[in-house]
Structure 1
């Protein structure tokens, strides 16, 4: 028979309940329910030790949590209900009925609030992970049946997901798909080459108006355009044979591929990979106006607008010069407008917007606006990245956040968009990747040192290093 040891005051009841919220079983021990109390405390300690062991022994903790989202949802829901029940039962065994009526009302009310409060963290975790899982399932697919063998093998081989590769290359595209436009034109094309060990990244930007695009020898497009991508001018004098039209053209002409539909993504990936001399692993297509919703979801981005940017059919829009926080629509017009400007200036502005998003989307902001960001992302991205690779790509993305990110823009005077030097493009890309892989910082020259005539001449012949930090010059100092 239990020997009851009920607290003698409302303060004592509430104190033991508060302790129980942190260490389940404490109130039961105080009330004489020794077996129940010891069982609860033992389960609690074992659970904490198991979580600690899991965290310390799991090499890829973030990726593993992403992979086990269903388990997290179920566990959080069960723990929340269990904790609620423990608080309620703890209140009962403390026998608050022995208190004066006023004490009973106070302790009952506060005990109810405490029971709800201990459930809230579990509810938030359940809701966040549920939203994340829904977003992931909507954006990412299972390993496609037509995926290259290397991609499928990477998903199946967790001990070496990168199949011995030192870098992963992901093509980031900005599309202008619209209800009033047939097909997709990729007006923003950036290849992110990421070192899988360090996260060091090179962002290669290719201009939309690159002409005479060459296709990998032996491919259907190379056989159809042996001298480069060239079509007769459009009736209005424009051109539909620039780099930004490759996806759209391949999708519109399945006969080139033996009747296979929707070959645009693969053709563009292979074409840009051949142009830069790398293998493109996956692509992510971002709807440019969906991107504006993502910027709004994080509360806007701070940009230094170096001079007024005019936009609109009748030049009625204006993003004023100065450093300010831009909402999504203004940030997109800043990045996309070519009014009184050109493609190359626009590419630079796009780089600044990407850099601002990368540096300003901190974890606190993402957590605080998680639901809005998830909804915007779901409407924003189309990709062929298999769901199984997220376990490895998410931790890699976290590395990139704190790693060295440089940018190379293939624009004049580095290259001519009308008559590109393909070999030079590959040489510059290879050097930027090699430099990105270096872990030792460059040795700084002393102020008094003057370059030798030979070094000066070599520097002039080589030209200025085109690799820059992704936010270099984005403070208005162009």
Structure 2
């Protein structure tokens, strides 16, 4: 017969219940259920040790949490543990025998015990909802990769998922497609070149109005435009042959590609890669107004607005100068408006918005607003990044958060948009990537920034070749076009 030690009051019952919620089995030990209490406590400790061992022995744990198998396991585990903890509180309350308390104590302890039983389920419910939302969002945004594809093969090699490559190049695009516009015009084009070892990143910004764009020799677009991308002037006097029109033009002319549809993304990736002398791995197209919803989801971003920014069809909108927290719509107008301004100033403001978002989207903010962020992300991104590569890209993104991020903007006077110096662009890009690698790893600085053997087909200069006149001119000039990501944004540098 168990020798139960009765709690002296309703407060004691509740105290032991709270302790049992944190250390299962405590209430059973207090009530004399020694065997049951020891089993519960032992299982709890063993579970914690197993989780610790899993965290310490699993390579790339954070990245693995993006995989469907892991997410499903967490989802099921959270549901089971939620039910188990609810049952634990109820049974702990029963074994403490609150029936021996005065009636008022029974009512009070029973009511609060019921509330506690519900409260302990909340964390597991929140985790289940977050995991479900994550899985659905990831499945909607990222493509499943065929098991025999190179990306899938690389993802299955945890010892070197990048297959010896030093840099990963991802094209970040801001598109203006909406219900009232046919096609996609990429008014914001930035290539993020990331060192896979250090996370050091160079953000190359290309102006939307870059003219006479050259295409990689041998491609259908190069055959169509051997002297550069040039079309007759539009009836209204505008041009539809600028860099921001390449995607739209390729999508609208499948006959150039033998009838293949939707070649815009592939053509733009190859074109920008050829322009910079690198191989572009993947792209991510962001709907600009969907981006505003993402900024709202994290609670806004704090930016120093150097001078009033006017916007709107009739100049009716205004983002006032000063350091302030901007909501999504104002942040987008700050980044996009060209009223009383130009494309190049707008590019700088876009860089400032990206920098503020990278700096202010800390883990605590992401966790506290997770569902809103996930839903906003689901609406704004279109990408060809394979689902299987996420487990490697997530830890790389965390490296970038704490690494050195520099920016190069190919705008006047550095580069003429009407008559671009393509060799100079490649020389500057090559140097910026080498400097980025050298910033944290002298050994890595000697390696080629090219992503793969196929990138060597690009016309960028070889590290071992003698410097070209343009490269020598860049060195003699003494000016480094690579800037800090937040440099010139009005705040602390």
Category of TM-score, reference length = shorter chain: over 0.9
Q: Distance in 2 between matches of 1:65 and 1:371?
A: 17
Q: CA deviation at 1:337?
A: 1.1
Q: CA deviation at 1:459?
A: 7.5
Could you say which residue in structure 1 is the equivalent of 2:482? 467
Could you say which residue in structure 2 is the equivalent of 1:254? 254
1:60 aligns with 2:75: no
- Confirm or deny: 8 A CA contact 2:208 2:243 kept in the other structure: yes
Q: Distance in 2 between matches of 1:284 and 1:440?
A: 27
Question: Which residue of 115, 118, 123 maps to 1:116?
Answer: 118
TM alignment of 1:308-457, pairs within 5 A: 308-440=308-440
Could you say which residue in structure 2 is the equivalent of 1:297? 297
TM-score (norm 1): 0.93
Q: Distance in 2 between matches of 1:207 and 1:458?
A: 23
Could you say which residue in structure 1 is the equivalent of 2:72? 70
Q: CA deviation at 1:435?
A: 0.6
Q: CA deviation at 1:265?
A: 0.4
Could you say which residue in structure 2 is the equivalent of 1:452? none
Q: CA deviation at 1:476?
A: 6.6
Return 77-86 or 153-162, whichever deviates more: 153-162
Q: Distance in 2 between matches of 1:243 and 1:439?
A: 31
Q: CA deviation at 1:418?
A: 1.0
Residue 66 of structure 1: SS of its match in structure 2? coil
Structure 2: 5+ residue stretches without partners? 443-471
Q: Distance in 1 between matches of 2:9 and 2:311?
A: 71
Could you say which residue in structure 1 is the equivalent of 2:241? 241
Q: Deviations over 1:10-61 (max 9, x none)?
A: 2332222122111111222222323222221111111011011111112312
Q: CA deviation at 1:116?
A: 1.6
Residue 230 of structure 2: SS of its match in structure 1? coil
Could you say which residue in structure 2 is the equivalent of 1:230? 230
Could you say which residue in structure 2 is the equivalent of 1:165? 165
Q: CA deviation at 1:458?
A: 7.3
TM alignment of 1:83-102, pairs within 5 A: 83-102=85-104
TM-score (norm 2): 0.90
Q: Distance in 1 between matches of 2:160 and 2:492?
A: 44
Q: CA deviation at 1:387?
A: 1.0
Residue 194 of structure 1: SS of its match in structure 2? strand
Q: CA deviation at 1:2?
A: 3.1
Q: Deviations over 1:158-205 (max 9, x none)?
A: 332111111111000000001111100000000000111111100000
Could you say which residue in structure 1 is the equivalent of 2:469? none
TM alignment of 1:17-166, pairs within 5 A: 17-67=17-67, 68-143=70-145, 149-166=149-166
Could you say which residue in structure 2 is the equivalent of 1:446? none
Residue 120 of structure 2: SS of its match in structure 1? helix
Q: CA deviation at 1:9?
A: 2.8
Q: Deviations over 1:351-377 (max 9, x none)?
A: 111111111112222222222111111
Q: CA deviation at 1:144?
A: 6.0
- Confirm or deny: 8 A CA contact 1:306 1:476 kept in the other structure: no
The 4+ residue runs of structure 1 with deviation greater than 6 A are 457-460
Q: Distance in 2 between matches of 1:200 and 1:393?
A: 14
Structure 1: 5+ residue stretches without partners? 443-456
Could you say which residue in structure 1 is the equivalent of 2:451? none
Residue 318 of structure 1: SS of its match in structure 2? strand
Q: Distance in 2 between matches of 1:286 and 1:458?
A: 37
Residue 78 of structure 1: SS of its match in structure 2? helix
Q: Distance in 2 between matches of 1:144 and 1:326?
A: 42
Residue 291 of structure 1: SS of its match in structure 2? helix
Q: Distance in 2 between matches of 1:382 and 1:436?
A: 28
Q: 1:297 to 1:63 in 2, by over 3 A?
A: same
Q: Distance in 2 between matches of 1:54 and 1:62?
A: 12
- Confirm or deny: 8 A CA contact 1:150 1:163 kept in the other structure: no
Q: CA deviation at 1:8?
A: 3.5
Q: Distance in 2 between matches of 1:47 and 1:377?
A: 34
Question: Alignment RMSD, CA only?
Answer: 1.9
User: How many residue pairs are counted as aligned between the two chains?
Assistant: 462
Q: Distance in 2 between matches of 1:194 and 1:214?
A: 25
Q: Distance in 2 between matches of 1:241 and 1:306?
A: 33
- Confirm or deny: 8 A CA contact 1:302 1:326 kept in the other structure: yes
- Confirm or deny: 8 A CA contact 1:144 1:386 kept in the other structure: no
- Confirm or deny: 8 A CA contact 2:319 2:330 kept in the other structure: yes
- Confirm or deny: 8 A CA contact 2:198 2:440 kept in the other structure: no
Q: CA deviation at 1:6?
A: 2.9
